[in-house]
Structure 1
Amino acid sequence: MENGAEKPIGFMSRTLSPVEKKYSQLDKEGLAVIFGIQRFHKYLYGRTFTIMTDHKPLISLFHEQKPIPQMVSPRVQCWNVWLRAYEYRIIYKPGRYHGNADALSRLPVPEIIIQEEENDQVLMIDVLDDAPVNTAQIRQWTSKDVTLSQVHEFILKGWPTVTEPQIMPYYTRRLALSVRDGCVLWGSRVVIPPQGRGLLLKLLHQSHPGMSRMKGLARSYVWWPKMDHDVEKEVSRCEDCQSNRKSPPTAPLHPWEWPEKPWTRLHVDYAGPFLGKMFLVLIDSHSKWMDVYPMNTSTSFATIEKLRQSFSVMGLPQMLVSDNATCFTSTEFTSFMKQNGIQHVTSAPFHPSSNGLAERAVQTLKEGMRKMQGPSIETKVSRFLFSYRITPQATTGLSPAEMLMSRRLRSTLDLIRPDLKMKIQQKQWNQKCNHDTRAKLRSFSPGDDVYTRNYGFGLKWIPATIEDCSGPVSYTVIIGSGQRLRRHVDQIRARIPVPSGDLDKFLNEQDRTLERSPELQLDKPPETNNAQLPETTSPG
């Protein structure tokens, strides 16, 4: 009641059967609820009502907003399914406030089998559609409509020179308008008054043919001003047509901005299961460099390990683009991105073209792996990646290796390219071999007594001593006057020591000769003598 008081309108009780007496207390309390609802079905069905029980476990078992428990007895599950046909709310009421129902449990009646009444149930009500529109209705609507009644009169008696705006659509078609059995026709099409246009639209749209087909069907039988516009509105308001409509036209292409530096933005995706493996595919948006890692699982932990392996070689990118797979949206993966200062961007759900670079890389990988030969998956992946990385891209015109490393990777195709350096080295080697057939290797050590070539006045060879080696085939020598000269090995020959007396006399004569020889003091050999040196002689 409005004041909170309870006024019973009916009572019902019965004694438990021998089988029901063996029920658990929970099942007995549930049986009481089910029995009461069955008894007062006619009062409760189709209405919202409240179940009050003093057994608190029933609140969670029979709760109207909770799923059916899976761990209870099959009997309770069946009762729960049966209660889904009612709209109810179950609440707990302590036993001391539940006296109106608790009193009957203290006064059991003899065991009597009650014949339950059969309730008449209506399973379906078929709503009949409106009767179809016929000629008599159109004639009646035409005579009652202000505009069409005027048009009807103008067709029979003639059209005026000045017409009202609502008559203009008919005035422009006046030569094709006619009257038959009280109905206005435009050619073979019946002009429908405003009262019947809604019914005709529903009749034309009953099979949901679509906007174009509905217009074509309507144009075959009827016409009225702005009929195409009304057909479009009818189709746009139909929920069944809109819910089953095709996807709209694709939006204009919005390409990703091309980064100016390599390894700035990476696109990542998984390919597979393919060939019994999952393949983690990474591709650099600047160079189109691709990394592929065959994996057994696609968990966040495994994904992070492979990314860490790739980043240890190439460095950390600024941005990583992926789809919304669990391995890319987990807390663990998000934490990994934040710790490394990488901006993680995900594409729109169920829209693969938003991550089109990775999707195209997956397609390229699958096409290449199907054609690649190799004893193992790893061998096939390595051969595919090597071929992919040295092949020029259609977008950049350069290979991914050139874009990323600024150099070409050497391959077996480089063997067919002429090598100028090897050609010159081979000719130099042939020249050396021809020259060395009549040459003899000579070497000297510091302190050795030698004769060195004199390019001034006096003797052609003068005594000297090796000071040190100034090059592969050149030495620094000291002559008798203490002057240091640099000479090629071809300008030096060994000297056998002579007695000291004769040597002093010889050196004094040579010193006087050197004092008169300015060319030797300048240590500038004539050009004609240098030109006689072999071509392959190395500089000192």
Structure 2
Amino acid sequence: MASGTTKGFQSIKEETVEFRFLTHYDLEKRVNVKCDASPYGIGACLSHVMDDESEQPVAFASRTLSPTEQNYAQIDREGVTNAEANMLSRLPIAVNVIDHDEQLYGIDYCEMLPVTAGDVARETKKDPVLKRVYEHALRGWPKHGVTELQPYQRRADQLTIVEDCLLWGSRVIIPHTLRNKVPNGLHEDHVGASRMKAIARGFVWWPCLDKDMEDTVRACQACQDTRHRPVQTHSHPWIYPDSPWSRLYADFAEVSGKQYLVIVDAFSKRPGVHELGTHGTSTQTIEAFRRTFACHGLPERLVTDNGPQFTSQQFKNL
């Protein structure tokens, strides 16, 4: 840390502990408690009201008084005018907050599915795995993960509980005993695995959800009978040539670490083999063809597999 930053930090620390900024709680003085509720928690600012109506922040309260022990007045203010409490409860921290209405929508949608929110809540309490997930979601997760809980612990920051149902984000976590009902219900119209997964991902979740949807479609005979089949294609064999040396086929073969160029006449099926060494470069390939064409003449057509030696610029200039 730079020396200037250190001095600034020390200066601010000393200023904040001065009497004019902080004081101890005093039962004899009037007290203001400013608080504010927000989705992130509750913040409060406790201060003494001085004789000149100014306020003195309190650093320590020796005891907590219940509302019946003193006279008090409750004043409601808009959040924009309640600056001290907003400072404490609405810090600019990046937190993913799930909209409560979105959660309830996910719960309500369960009424349209083959299972209801009541079914999910009841079976969640019976499910040995989800019962533990429910408790951890309420009271915190252990430091050392458990293998069977890992799919849930990886999503711990987004797990919530609404109407005794576990939710991951806005998706309801379905207990094990109900997981066969959801794919079967979504499959009533035989919409296919992709459509089923798209619908399910919007409202429900459990480990291996996609696989269960796909298994449901595979087990449906009607879907298997009408599924998309590959387009049948007809083979187009080469027409048998009318004369020798009208069409040649060429390819490479490797034997004992050496490359060989194999040339076959389509009419006579007579092969010609040329050793090219260990690499079989374009130059060596061209020389082998020149020797062959010098003996037998040029063919009408040469068929290859578009290997690098056959597509090189050297070969094209042959």
Tell me the TM-score normalised to structure 2 length. Answer: 0.40
Which has the larger strand fraction? Answer: 2
Larger radius of gyration: 1
Tell me the TM-score normalised to structure 1 length. Answer: 0.24
